[in-house]
Amino acid sequence: MFARSIRNTLAAASKQRYICQSCLHRARKSPLALTRLSTQPRTRSLHTESEPPQPPRNATSFRKLLKDAAKQQKKKEKGAVSPRHNPRLEHWELTVGIEVHAELNTARKLFSAAATSVSEAPNTHVALFDVAFPGTQPRFNKDTLLPALRAAIAFQCEIQHKSSFDRKHYFYQDQPAGYQITQYYEPFATNGKITLYPHDFPPGAAPQPEPFDIGIKQIQMEQDTAKTVQQPPSTYLLDFNRVSHPLIEIITLPHIHDPTVAAVVVRKIQNILKSVNACTTGMELGGLRADVNVSVRQRQGHSESSHSYHGVTGLGQRTEIKNLASFKAVEDAIIAERDRQIDLLESGGIVEGETRGWTLGSKTTKRLRGKEGEIDYRYMPDPDIAPVIIGESLVKHLRDTLPKLPDVHIDTLVQTYGLTAKDAITLISLDDGARLEYYLATLHALKRDATQNEEEVPLNVLGKITSNWVLMELGSLFTDEAWDSTRISTRFLKDVVSHVRRKQITSPSGKRLLAMSFDGDKRSVAEIVEQESLLLKPLSHEEYVKLAQNLLDEKPDMVRDITEKGQVKKTMWFVGQMVARSPEGTVEPGKAKEVLKEVLGLGDQEL
């Protein structure tokens, strides 16, 4: 009877959307309707709404990021001082360890039968155990172990045959039981690593030309907490949908000494988790959060630091920055905290072990509370959950069926398909892998088409051509819209690229075909080419020369700039004019450029 009353109460609360902490306490005593309540809880930084999620990057913004990074590197090489480089770092060394919390991709919660939900109405997926109803027991959902194991295998961890769950005690409004179920004494995976390559960094930002490893101490499973939504000035609303969502916490060793490396580590962790289908969403949608532990110590053996962590000794006093929700936040927060600690130590102060917060746009971190130690959490084995036993046959099966990791894809795209590392990374990073699948489907269709026509076209040539069309031409169409592979089929793009490659239509005509299909034109490429008279009617070499000479005669001043002053890039203006002044489908830009170089006597100079 009492249980039925609580279920009715939760159903009523779902219409009101949120449950308040004190109301939940009253509901345990009587089945009253749950209402909102104004309260002032202690600060709880994990998974709050203080920092809005970052919007997903599209192709244009990601490529622009890489270009901007390249520009910054050029400025640095010319002697410009980057604001991220502090000359005091010659005397101080930064050390960073990262804890990444990721939501596992499962249908049910970790210890209850309630469904996991990311965007459902508040308090609509809540089981009695999730709200610590007296007498309810946790039931470990074995399905949650599979994505966790895929992640651990991807990070080359040692999978433990036996692992167990523990209670981590703390008292916040977002944890109804008064403790969190996690793995402290016996995690399911230990001793892993993540390998960073130069291609993981923006151009010029890699700290060394060779790959290097960042150690992973352990990966553990744990339950998520409720979602706290603040309504200023002093009202906090609780959504219990997320309680007991399955998480993994990935804990790195303090092997990181550069803020950019830390941001790259978090980005790569996210990409690997997505590639093996282990997590729901990335940082941009709130499915992944990072806490960073930051300390500084003097270089050249002058440090008197006596702190250590898992075999790494001589560390400075660390502080923890909680709940960082973007890669930029990771980098900026570390820089701010590093500089704060150096300022403090150089002025004769001491760094206190504490938990600090960070808000995008801030110049410094802010104190949240004193840092809890192991004794504060009163860890104890959970008596209600049996140990988890993992068989070697399961681990072997998951290892053998693990999807390809991003580094493998990048190596294939660069070495086999002829892409640059930058284009390969862009392709992999877009649209949770959907753009990569589209690219590969188009490329394989082009290869089959060439084989059927008895053409011997190297795969790296086709791969490079296809990437240009998928990233640049299609990317420009989807700049303001979410990626949708059905807007332009891979077959349509294959036919466009084939027509351009065989010089049946010009590249501008190919772009026009894509735009027409994108806007809803249902005709095939062959039908549009015939009906719109786009078939290429190439000029003879003599006609190209005559057209080029006529244009050059119109602009003698530009000709002198090109031939006498070496301003050869102005030649491209004439290329554009040759295409624009000719009937569509008669002038190829590449052929026009070569003819102009011939007429101007530029030889093999690069335009």
What is the spatial distance between Cα 576 and Cα 572, in angstroms, rounded to a whole number? 6
More confident residue, 49 or 193: 193
**Bridge partners for 222 per DSSP:** 247
Cis peptide leading into 55, omega within 30 of 0?
no
- Cα–Cα distance for residue pair 54/547, rounded to 1 Å: 51
pLDDT in tens, 488-544: 999 999 999 999 998 888 888 899 999 999 999 999 999 999 998 888 777 888 888
Lowest mean pLDDT among 243-252, 423-432, 466-475: 423-432
Q: Domain residues of the chain, as ranges?
A: 1-37, 44-77+89-389, 404-531, 541-600
CA distance 383 to 181: 11
Q: What is the pTM of this model?
A: 0.72
Q: What's the whole-number average pLDDT of the chain?
A: 84
pLDDT-derived band of residue 305, with 50, 70 and 90 as boundaries? low
Which burial class, exposed, middle or buried, applies to 563 when counting CB atoms under 10 A from its CB (0-12, 13-18, 19+)? middle
**The pLDDT of residue 58:** 43
What gap in Å lies between CA 176 and CA 435, rounded to an integer?
42
Confidence of residue 289 (pLDDT cuts 50, 70, 90): very high
Q: What integer pLDDT is reported at residue 35 of this predicted model?
A: 31
Other CB atoms within 10 A of residue 474 CB: 22
Contact 95, 297 (CB under 8 A): yes
- At 265 the pLDDT is 97
- Rounded to a whole number of angstroms, the distance between the first and last alpha carbons of the chain is 82
Q: Can you give the pLDDT at residue 133?
A: 94
Residue 343 CB neighbour total at 10 angstroms? 12
Radius of gyration of the chain (CA): 30
CA 540 distance to own-chain centroid: 50
pLDDT at residue 582 above 70?
yes
What span, in angstroms and rounded, lies between the C-alpha atoms of 75 and 64?
A: 17
Count the helices and strands in the chain (H runs, E runs).
20, 18
**Tokens coding 150:** 């895929």
Other CB atoms within 10 Å distance of the CB of residue 531: 9
Read off the pLDDT of residues 225-282 as tens digits, 9 standing for 90 and up. 998 888 889 898 999 999 999 999 999 999 999 999 999 999 999 989 988 999 877 7
DSSP tag of 70 = H
Residue with tokens 């008596």: 383
Confidence label for 170 from pLDDT (cuts 50, 70 and 90)? confident
User: Going by C-beta distance under 8 Å and a sequence separation of 6 or more, which residues neighbour residue 448?
Assistant: none
Euclidean distance between CA atoms 6 and 1, whole angstroms: 9
* Residue 106: DSSP 8-state: -
Q: How far is CA 10 from CA 21, 29, 193, 202, in A?
A: 13, 14, 43, 49
Which has more pLDDT, 70 or 81? Answer: 70
Give me the pLDDT at residue 60, please.
Answer: 46
Token digits for 425? 């990374």
Task: Answer whether 514's CB lies under 8 Å from 565's CB.
Answer: no
Confidence check: pLDDT of 81 > 60: no
Can you tell me which residue has the tokens 């080419």? 529
Asked whether 209 and 198 are in contact (CB, 8 A), the reply is: yes
Q: What is the pLDDT of residue 238?
A: 92
| Phi, psi (rounded to 5 degrees) for 93 | -110, 130
**Does the pLDDT at position 84 exceed 70?**
no
Written in H, E and C, the secondary structure of 7-25 is: HHHHHHHHHHCCECHHHHH
pLDDT for the residue 270: 92
Residue 131 has pLDDT above 60, yes or no: yes
Q: Of the candidates 118, 103, 151, which has an alpha carbon nearest to the alpha carbon of residue 287?
A: 103
Spatial contact of 428 and 421, defined as CB atoms under 8 Å apart: no
Residue in this structure with the two tokens 């969502």, named with its chain if needed: 245
Poorest-pLDDT segment among 64-78, 293-307, 419-433: 64-78
- When pLDDT is cut at 50, 70 and 90, the band that residue 122 belongs to is very high
What is the residue type of 173?
Q
User: Is the separation of the CB atoms in 278 and 154 below 8 Å?
Assistant: yes
Q: Alpha helices of 78-214 — where are they, by DSSP H? A: 145-154
pLDDT at 184 over 50: yes
Q: Going by DSSP bridges, is the β-strand pair 189-196/158-159 parallel, antiparallel, or unpaired?
A: antiparallel
Q: What pLDDT does 79 receive?
A: 45
Average pLDDT over residues 96-123: 92
Contact 244/81 with Cβ under 8 angstroms?
A: no
